[in-house]
A and B are shown apart, each in its own frame.
Chain A
Amino acid sequence: MTAVASAPVRGEVRPARPAGFAQVLRSEWTKMLTLRSTWVTLAIAVLLGVGGGVGISAAAAHAYRQGHIAPGGWKPVQVSSISLFFVQWAVAVLGATVVTGEYGSGMIRTSLAAVPRRGRFLVAKAVVLTAVVLVSGEAISFGAFLAGQAMFGSGVPHAALGQGGVLRSVVGAGLYLTAVGLLSTGLGFLVRSTAAAMAVIVGLLFVFPLIFGAIPVSWLKQVDKWWPTQAGQQIYTQIGRHGSDVLGPWAGFGIFCAFVAAVLVAGYLVLRSRNA
């Protein structure tokens, strides 16, 4: 390491390609794939989603066969997608650390010196995260569904992708996970620390809905109905059920997406105005 070769300082960099959005996108793509934590988080997501799905489905089918679940209460699509509730935490960690990992290490200063246009930087990060989470989220959702239905065995009602609303639910779960990842990225730009971003995510996805569900007050039911993450989950939890207390699957997901977009815009405003 101490021996310093006499390589040229001057290099062949000038007849270079233009540096536009495509270059920033490639840079962010390389960033994502060259961190071991990305692969560890994705492996955990698969383990939680597919592995957890298999376990939950097998246990539920056993309970059904034992007569602990009434035939009218048996919902095969919901059962095999329960594990996705845990996958969203892994996705949230990935989405946040794409940003907060840079703030924690100081890399953000190196990154912004290389890409001073803040909007371009944020959009490139969001696009790369969307690609990674969409592909892995759909894979996990389909994996959990197919493996889960296979675990039911004979004598337990199955669901098939061709049935009404089933394909939308399975695809929708992947879309929902992608939106959770983007929400987390936006929060990362807002609060700049992994711990703070995760605290907000846990509050949004878990703590507040738990409170809404626990207190039987009619106006809280309305809040629960319109609460962005609760609305977003309709796209995969809702099969053939459409009461006045819940939004439709696409309307709910639309609300969630609008909320995610608003958080990303807020994150951009903070990124642009606050010192790096």
Chain B
Amino acid sequence: MGEALIVAEHLTKTYGSTRAVDDLSFTVAPGRVTGFLGPNGAGKTTTMRMILGLDDPTSGKVTIDGRPYRDLAAPLREVGALIDAKAVQGGRTARSHLEVLAASNGIPRRRVSEVLRLVGLEQVARRRLGTFSLGMSQRLGVAAALLGDPHTLLFDEPVNGLDPEGIQWIRQLMKGLASEGRTVLVSSHLMSEMALTADHLLVIGRGKLVADASIDEVVRGGSASTVLVRSRDDAALAGRLVAIGANVQAGSSGGLLVGGVEAAVVGEAALAGGIVLEELTPQRVSLEEAFMELTRGDVEFAAGLLADVPLGVAAAGWGAPTPTAAPPAGPEVRP
């Protein structure tokens, strides 16, 4: 298969006065799942449409394996994409829809049965697509993407409309495809989903690239981590910590939140002052918080984003929210 890279160079797309995608440059490498993350309206779908040659960039370019999509002779055998599961004609059956696509790229007919079985739709292969649920349509979209056994796969919000079993299945599928050495780019506006599937992240906000890093790097770099400490004498400890340059605040449920120094340094300061520690907990920033932090100010519709992060940061289970990562509250949020 070779090095099937997706390479975007200064990709820009404007609609009227709106910059949907703004000078985006990135490389998507094979062998891992690359998450394409950003709030709704950040330009993820527009970027994917430009990769597929459906939209022309206003400037810049994007190539697959060194070639623009429109130059691929049999694109389905190189790139499989699930952009909009409902982009089918309802009057056709699942089987004939796939047969249409297979015929156009010289893909043998028996492969249609194969992918229908693969996505679990063989029982409804002769049903008209107009009667399909969103979940079934998503599965059909996955079948269409896999039809040509492509080296590169694009999935736009693939878990939308899937039942829990389907979500589990598609996560495994994407990881499996990447482990076979394929290039997999999957978009989502949910950080929690990315945490479960992606190895690498491209984070965009308002059409601009905000981060291009591994999940770990995003979490570490997202926000200065803090340490929660409780002691017999918080006041004395606070004084010692400030003296060594730490940033100290009162914790929301007692104790001190210490920023700027490692947990070990806090311990040493306590030992030096003869102060007994009751708790010393590094506060890891959750992926969700890191994402909020990265895209803050890049969010087009703040209330909409909040609605998309249903469980909030506290429920992410990785420690209490830090003050900096708290979601905007108050008058901006509609009741």
Q: Identify the closest chain A residue to B50 (Cβ).
A: A275
Instruction: Count chain A residues whose beta carbon lies closer than 8 angstroms to a beta carbon of B.
Output: 46
Interchain CB contact under 8 A, A23 and B123:
no
Which residue of A23, A26, A34, A115 contacts B96 across the interface (Cβ within 8 Å)? A34
Report chain A residues within 8 Å CB of B299: none
A78 within 8 A of partner (CB): no
A109/B96 in contact, CB under 8 A: no
Asked if A116 meets B75 with Cβ closer than 8 Å, knowing A13-B148, A17-B106, A23-B103, the reply is yes
Chain B: minimal CB distance from A273 (Å): 8
Distance in Å from the Cβ of B101 to the closest Cβ of chain A? 5
Give every chain A residue within 8 A of B73 (Cβ-Cβ).
18-20
The answer to whether A117 touches B101, judged by C-beta atoms less than 8 angstroms apart, is: no
Q: Across the interface, which residues of B come within 8 angstroms of A10, CB to CB?
A: 149, 180
How does the 8 Å CB contact mask read for B69-94 relative to A, with 1 for contact and 0 for none?
11111111100010110111111110
Residue from B54, B70, B77, B104 whose CB has the most chain A CB atoms within 10 Å = B104
Is A276 close to B, CB under 8 A? Answer: yes
- Choose, from A99-107, A157-165, A233-241, the stretch at the interface: A99-107
Interface pick from B113-121, B209-217, B244-252: B113-121
Q: Is A112 an interface residue (CB 8 A)?
A: yes
Residues of B in contact with A (beta carbons under 8 Å apart)? 49, 52-56, 69-77, 81, 83-84, 86-93, 96, 99-101, 103-108, 110-111, 114-115, 117-124, 136, 139, 144, 146-149, 163, 165-166, 169, 173, 176-177, 180
* Interface assignment of A214: CB less than 8 Å from any CB of chain B: no
Beyond A16-B108, A105-B90, A109-B83, list 4 extra A-B contacts (CB 8 Å).
A10-B180, A16-B107, A105-B86, A276-B55
Most buried by A among B89, B124, B169: B89
Task: Given A106-B84, A116-B72, answer yes or no on A12-B111 (Cβ-Cβ < 8 Å).
Answer: yes
Q: Chain A residues near B120 (CB, 8 Å)?
A: 1-5
Q: How far is the CB of B294 from the nearest CB of chain A, in Å?
A: 29
Residues of A within 8 A of B74 (CB): 16, 18-19
Give 11 CB contacts A-B under 8 Å. Answer: A9-B118, A11-B146, A14-B77, A16-B74, A16-B77, A16-B106, A35-B91, A105-B88, A116-B71, A273-B56, A276-B54
Contact of A109 among B71, B87, B122 (CB under 8 A): B87
Q: B105 to A9, Cβ gap below 8 A? A: no
| A140: min CB distance to chain B, Å | 23
Residues of B within 8 Å of A116, CB to CB, are 52-53, 69-72, 75
A31 at the interface (CB under 8 A from B): yes
> Is A24 interfacial (CB-CB < 8 Å)?
yes
With both chains docked as a complex, state the minimum distance between the C-beta of B139 and any C-beta of chain A, in angstroms: 8
Q: How many angstroms between the C-alpha atoms of A243 and B179 in the bound complex? A: 77
Interface 1/0s, chain A 22-57, versus B by CB < 8 A?
A: 011011001100111100000000000000000000
CB contacts (< 8 Å) of A115 on chain B: these are 104
Known contacts A2-B165, A109-B84: does B92 contact A7 (CB below 8 Å)? no
**Inside 8 A of B114's CB, which chain A residues have their CB?**
7-8, 11
Interface status of A114 (Cβ within 8 A of chain B): yes
Whether A275 contacts B55 by the Cβ 8 Å rule is: yes
- Shortest C-beta distance, B331 to chain A (Å), equals 38
Q: A17-B106, A23-B105 are in contact. Are A106 and B100 (CB under 8 A)?
A: no
In the complex, the chain A residue whose C-beta lies closest to that of B113 is: A7
Name the residue of chain B whose CB is nearest to the CB of A5: B117
| Residues on the B chain within 8 Å of A12, using CB | 108, 110-111
Q: What are the residues of chain B within 8 A of A11 when measuring CB–CB?
A: 111, 114-115, 146, 149
* Cα distance, A106 to B114, chains bound together (Å): 25
Partner of B87, one of A18, A19, A24, A105: A105
Are B107 and A1 closer than 8 Å at their CB atoms?
no
Q: Is A217 part of the contact surface with B, judged by Cβ < 8 Å? A: no
CB of A222 closer than 8 Å to a CB of B: no
Report A142-193 residues with CB < 8 Å from chain B CB: none
Known: A2-B163, A16-B77, A34-B93. A117 touches B70 (CB 8 A): yes
Q: How far is the CA of A112 from the CA of B122 in the complex (A)?
A: 26
Enumerate chain A residues within 8 angstroms of B99, measured Cβ to Cβ.
30, 34
Report chain A residues within 8 Å CB of B169: 4
